[in-house]
Amino acid sequence: MSGELKRGLEGVLVTESELSFIDGDAGQLIYRGYSIEDLARDASYEEVLYLLWHGNLPNSEELDDFASELAAHRSVDDGVLDVARELAAQDESPMAAVRTLVSAMSAYDENADFEDVTDREVNLEKAKRITAKMPSVLAAYARFRRGDDYVEPKEDLSHAANFLYMLNGEEPNDVLAETFDMALVLHADHGLNASTFSAMVTSSTLSDMYSAVTSAVGTLAGSLHGGANANVMRMLKDIDDSDMDPVEWVEDALERGERVAGFGHRVYNVKDPRAKILGEKSEALGEAAGDMKWYEMSVAIEDYIGEEKGLAPNVDFYSASTYYQMGIPIDLYTPIFAVSRVGGWIAHVLEQYEDNRLIRPRARYTGDKDLTFPGIDER
């Protein structure tokens, strides 16, 4: 097969989308025409979901109705909770648990096997159920593994605040709720990243939305896609435990041939705009707590890597210290990524269904040809 080989499909255009745009040279990210800076500052996660799924920002009445519908779907069926308990008892990893629980949720959705998988209205109902329940099943799993009881969701809390409530058993203050909501907004969509493309490939076969989201969760679990924010925080804790200057610690790590987590990006050639916003949040949380060490450590590492390696931080670099200062366990950082990104996955699946074509690339064959088949005694 002739043609230029593009390993990893780098730079290959495979579809058209109205959902998000990235300018890697300018450090720009937009969702349906709106800058991520404006959305992070002024929009709730519920507004961003509506924007991604419907194509426009909701008015006040539409937002109230949409948020209420989401909230009404937060409760988890007993059968799914039983699965969460078993996964926690078996010490399953958080991402594997989320993958299994999303799949299990389909058994309790009467529309999961609806004959026409491209029916938009049915899919929007599935979208609400999946998006509303993912935080609930993650919180349930997290509580079960530490021996705590399941906390029923509250419909009068926002999507972000309710997750923190279900995770910790107490309602978060406004600062924590707003910070987490902003983090959800920042992670909601990001073009055709690996997990989004995985969801699109699955849906292009006319498989259902639960299967597409399960595929995406499994893809995000890979260390080259998700997990960097957890690795950043583990690095910061190692530096803190070592009592070394952070720059000296990083220098030693680089001399050993190790990578410094949270730097570089397949698309951005400059600082990730989401990292700028989360850096400000990390600083604000540190000031509020009277402990600036995580933020100051991060800034020192950013400055050094920028000067020595010419690399800028990505979204994971400052989300790490932000989540840590919120009291969120480190191994939940990537599942939280999924809790947010499910909105974008679903938006791309909806878009795929609207003008579907089976995604079926080809590979250039480099093996032998014209071999003579040997009999069993000749091998």
Active-site residues, by number, are 265, 316
Give backbone dihedrals phi and psi of 305, rounded to 5 degrees, phi first. -65, -35
Helical residues (DSSP H) of the chain, grouped into ranges: 36-42, 45-54, 60-72, 78-89, 94-105, 120-145, 159-168, 174-187, 194-204, 209-220, 228-242, 246-255, 273-289, 293-309, 315-325, 333-354
Handedness of CA 32, 38, 43, 44 (dihedral sign): positive
Residue 272 neighbours by CB under 8 Å, 6+ apart? 27, 265, 312, 313, 314, 315
Torsion angle (degrees, nearest 10) of CA 239, 240, 245, 247:
40
Structure tokens at 374: 């040997």
Structure tokens at 135: 């935080």
Kindly give the interhelix angle for 94-105 and 209-220, rounded to the nearest 10 degrees: 180
Structure tokens at 308: 């020595």
The partner residues of 21 in beta bridges, in order of sequence, read 30
DSSP for 172-232 reads PPHHHHHHHHHHHHHHS--SS-HHHHHHHHHHHTT--HHHHHHHHHHHHTSTTTS-HHHHH
Which amino acid, one-letter code, is at 324? Y
Give the separation between CA 224 and CA 168, rounded to whole angstroms: 30
Structure tokens at 316: 């994971």
For the chain, how big is the Rg over CA atoms in Å?
22
Give the separation between CA 155 and CA 69, rounded to whole angstroms: 9
- What is the separation, in whole angstroms, between the first and last Cα of the chain? 31
Comparing CA positions, the residue from 304, 315, 331 lying closest to residue 97 is 331
